Structure 1
């Protein structure tokens, strides 16, 4: 897993490798840059690869906890996040893709819940898959590890664009993201995520507070 130069908010995730401390640090570093460097616009993650047999041999719960917290931090950034997927995507690649706001896939991409031993891996990708699409569409993928094709993932709402060349779509989305204030995006993303769990009455206070904030910002602009 690698991060690009200081002026380019780009991360590359190789899902063919098991998660490592270096992977955790790479995600945390780019989150630091996105939050502390005065950046606006979009953070782009290129994801590909799925784990090979035996990939969990050296894993432990402590490392997995750090990884999941790093991915959660990425998921809650003030900037818009976009993933560009190619080929089979599983493991860390699937984890990060499911944590991004906009998902672009090269035609032929497949989403793969990796297998460990005699069953699929029970990481937080299963949680995000179920929360984002519901369980009915995903039984075969989550229980049997059968890959989701690009078309199936698109129908399930896990992907937003299927393209042959992703650069043009990425540039269009980056142009839209450039006009969005980071903290405002983060607030609206959280309201959207909370909606799946909160009743109308529970959500009302948060939405009214966000409306009040928007009115005050408009009055002072």
Structure 2
């Protein structure tokens, strides 16, 4: 196992293109690389583009299921993930951006839930938007497809920072990620995700188990 550098694991997704088997394989392929060769580090996802009208014409429930599973796999990786949004981002681009741990928007970026037919696309981006924020802007974006600009996305909590150039921010994140063990990071992420659904009484057992694991690892080292 090796530690990843900032340029080692990079995925680029064009949201103007519909999801295809090749798109699914691209996500699964970088997940394979991350899981097989990296004990720590950063996986970066660059996203941009919004689907054109009619983008769902070749989609099927089967392909959509495979896509959502691939996005979920990336969301649960041991490595830290960073998303970089440039321009308008929707469709596959928005799906992956919302599944990353740290989200950077280049100035001028906007998040767009694409429309399919007579309503917005009801994919899991709606689920992630609902879990990650509840402002009126998010509701308009989810229900009406109203673009969410970077400043409002930061206010809603779905974007972490807006920058003119993403490279310095990515380098800083990569430096922090280099010293974090992937398995431990995945445990912390899951504890945070569960917090939205579990009461204190339901959550405390999992947190204490994680504390015990940490103490045992520290003692062993």
TM-score > 0.5 by shorter chain: yes
Cα deviation code 1:88-132 (max 9, x no counterpart): 000000000000000011000000000011111100000000011
3-state SS, counterpart of residue 215 of structure 1: helix
Q: 1:217: which partner in 2? A: 217
Cα deviation per residue 1:160-203 (whole Å; 9 max; x = unaligned)? 11000110110000000001010000000000000000011111
1:129 and 1:10 map into 2 onto residues whose CA distance is 24
Is the CA contact (8 Å cut-off) linking 2:135 and 2:156 kept in structure 1? no
| Alignment correspondent of 2:55 | 55
Aligned mates of 1:211, 1:117 — CA distance in 2: 49
The whole-number CA distance in structure 1 between the counterparts of 2:40 and 2:200 is 32
Structure 2 unaligned residues grouped into runs of 5+ = 1-6
Alignment partner of 1:189 is 2:194: no
- Partners of 1:143 and 1:188 lie apart in 2 by 31
Per-residue deviation, 1:39: 4.4
Cα 1:135–1:152 change in 2 (3 A) is closer
Cα deviation, residue 134, structure 1: 2.3
What does residue range 138-157 of structure 1 map to in structure 2 within 5 Å? 138-157=138-157
Q: 3-state DSSP class of the match of 1:176?
A: helix
**Further displaced range: 140-149 or 33-42:** 33-42
Alignment of 1:121-140 (within 5 A): 121-134=121-134, 136-140=136-140
> What are the equivalent positions in structure 2 for 1:94-105 lying under 5 Å apart?
94-105=94-105
Residue aligning to 1:118: 118
The match for 1:76 is 76
User: Does residue 27 of structure 2 align to residue 27 of structure 1?
Assistant: yes
Task: Say which is worse superposed, 110-119 or 37-46, in terms of deviation.
Answer: 37-46
Give the 3-state SS of the residue equivalent to 2:38 in structure 1.
coil
Q: Distance in 1 between matches of 2:149 and 2:57?
A: 28
| Equivalent position of 2:67 in the other structure | 67
Q: Secondary structure at the match of 2:56?
A: coil
Q: After superposition, what is the alpha-carbon deviation per residue over 1:150-169, rounded to whole angstroms, capped at 9, x for unaligned?
A: 10001001111100011011
Q: Would you say the 8 A contact 2:110–2:148 is kept in 1?
A: yes
2:168 alignment partner in structure 1: 168
Secondary structure, in 3 states, of the residue corresponding to 1:105?
strand
| Equivalent residues, number | 215
- Using the size of structure 2 for normalisation, the TM-score is 0.95
8 Å contact kept, 2:9–2:42: yes
Aligned residue number for residue 3 of structure 2 = none
